[in-house]
Structure 1
């Protein structure tokens, strides 16, 4: 049985070797390729079609943000599902990580995270549950957004029902479907349906982009 297909993009050969060994040690994961810069990353993804890409931000030739935009754009134009992209960053509050998520990445993990956390993050995004460390993601966007001024909410915001806005607010605070269900006395299936409709109406790819949207339009209160 084929496991989750993982590609790694990082300009440090020693780091790549360590991650490759970690992934290869897991029976449900399959390491399918690596690249050392953003230009190579685009070609690698086109060639091996991974399920999840671990993407460094700071790299030569093309950085992780440019590579993320290109990979997702190429997949969209080809009419295929893009891989989930996990940003690898050295710093807790890194504006480049925020920019990568705006470009379509599904979340970020610290390079010095425990191996178990990285493995859990890979499996989580592969399942479509994009918010990995919701609190960290929230703090990141609160940090980079200070003083920049909120943009007015787009017309699509008015299409959300009052109930959907309630669910939106809880998801923007980083609550999981289980936590929202408990808080609102709903089933998890109902919450999942609400979240799916919210993402569709707002044209968002996943819950991480929902958090970005909330901070950019000052809808976190």
Structure 2
């Protein structure tokens, strides 16, 4: 499964949404901003769900490969369900991020072409600069998420495929080191996601204060 979302686009989108609420705009602009804000919230929710599902997937994987597992079939079935959920979340995140980016680009194009009055244009630019300064760290928060998520999804799926062919004590013993690394990678992925969620929280707090 190939993920095609652009984490760095988060800055692009949230900046233009925030500018709208700070400065005000025409009805069409507000409608576009509302759509983009809705998409942004969907992406935030996806990330929140990903944190929970990573924990669940790691837990079922650890349970599956633990020494002297009494019911490997039951443990394998539970792990398989978690892998499927994690994959669906990855696809959902890619879809929502792409939608957020597309809507944000459309609104930004409209915004840039909206002003002929030099005073309003200057105000718009001032607001734009202010907001960019506030959210300058957002691209840094998103760096590495796509690669880390793709790597984790690949590993947990391949572990599931391997054990589907060799769900024996020997097969579990052989895959255990890989499984342990996947669990560590999942924990690292969570740490990569957390700064982005913090950025979303700061954005909400700032726009709420300005409305």
Report the TM-score when normalising by structure 2: 0.22
Q: Which has the higher strand share?
A: 1
